[in-house]
Amino acid sequence: MKLIDVQKILRAEVLCGGEYLTRDVEVACGADLMSDVLAFTKEKALLLTGLTNIQVIRTAEMSDLVGIVFVRGKRPGPEVLQLAAAKGIPLLLSDYPMYESCGILYRVGLKGCSEKVTACEV
């Protein structure tokens, strides 16, 4: 699956990094706990989160995340967008809440970080 597929499926607005939407997404995780993201995600993982502070971007940077989806219409501030743009981290904004966002992506084959990566088709 590619980020652009995620964007379409979650009817998401692209906040920044539109040029990176052809990136592959291999796995995903939904978390508001950045410590868990740092501890348990894999490379090329997509993060879905309800947190919008600058540490979310730093966490994505350190963990080599492929992108971030802010759920339930939570819009981050300009300093967050600025850092994400500088670090080449695409940001999406979906109105779906966390549970539904994760469920929708899981249903179309995007696996979690604890599972073996398998090819998924949209």
With vertex at residue 88, the alpha carbon angle to CA 41 and CA 113, rounded to the nearest 5 degrees, is 15
- 2 part of the interface to other proteins, by CB under 8 A: no
In Å, the largest CA–CA distance within the chain is 36
Q: Least distance from C-beta 6 to other proteins, angstroms?
A: 21
Residues 6 or more apart whose CB falls under 8 angstroms from that of 103 comprise none
Candidates 14-22, 48-56, 66-74, 105-113: pick the segment binding other proteins (CB under 8 A).
48-56
Of 19 and 43, the one with the shorter C-beta distance to other proteins is 43
- How many helical (H) and strand (E) elements, i.e. helices and strands, does the chain have? 5, 6
Positions touching other proteins (CB under 8 A) are 32-39, 43, 49, 51, 53-56, 58-59, 61-64, 79
